[in-house]
Structure 1
């Protein structure tokens, strides 16, 4: 039976491979681990030169980018709000979020947040390619995760029927979390 072990890599397009690698190394402390360049796409055999770069996103997670100099300029899906599609990276603490936010802003990178999602807190910003990045620090308790786990299927079923936000986890938006007795 198929059992996924982990994500091997996630690939996005970039405007400039060198600028992208340097930005992720400088601002997110990722290591540049691999570059592959071809004049022909191995899977399709299309004659389309590219530079494919890989960055270590921690614990075996790899973030990759393709620079495609012969393709039309990068764009976004105009029907999808820019906040929807993003790459979220886990960090160790809220203190790391605060320090990273200050460092990014000092480098001239606009940052949204710290946003409180009850079970985690996060900041948001854009890389030089226009990809939205989220850094998230978990702050939830075992009780919170249990409560969310207990209602996930009911919420999904209700959403599928109504296309309206189910209220099973409305407690997440209250100011205080009330433990289940």
Structure 2
């Protein structure tokens, strides 16, 4: 059975991305490793992994409940085969899988818990955290759909 081994990052929906960036960099000493050119999102790091916190602009007029935690992410031991097995297990349990994404830095499955909280389970896309951090600092980070084939039994 695939084993999830740690909580890896938190994504927050915020009213003002730049105010959040200022807070997290000045108060917590984080580095803004990838501020999107439209200032609608920013990935922040304590300096050892690609990101620890990400902030995304909440929709205009968002109220309490729409601002706050977007999802939290957990890392799986292993790689794509284990992620595929976990996706199959979620499907077998009739869990709602919202999407699968290839972030380059991670390969991810997003799904909802029974209360509708969004979770992400991912496999690392780089062998070393420093490689992922260097990649995200380049500002070329983009996402695409991830196709996961569930391995056959045997």
What TM-score range do you get, normalising by the shorter chain? Answer: 0.3 to 0.5
TM-score (ref. length: structure 1): 0.38
Which has the larger share of strand?
2
Greater RCO (Cα-Cα under 8 Å, separation 6 or more): 2
Greater gyration radius: 1
TM-score (ref. length: structure 2): 0.44
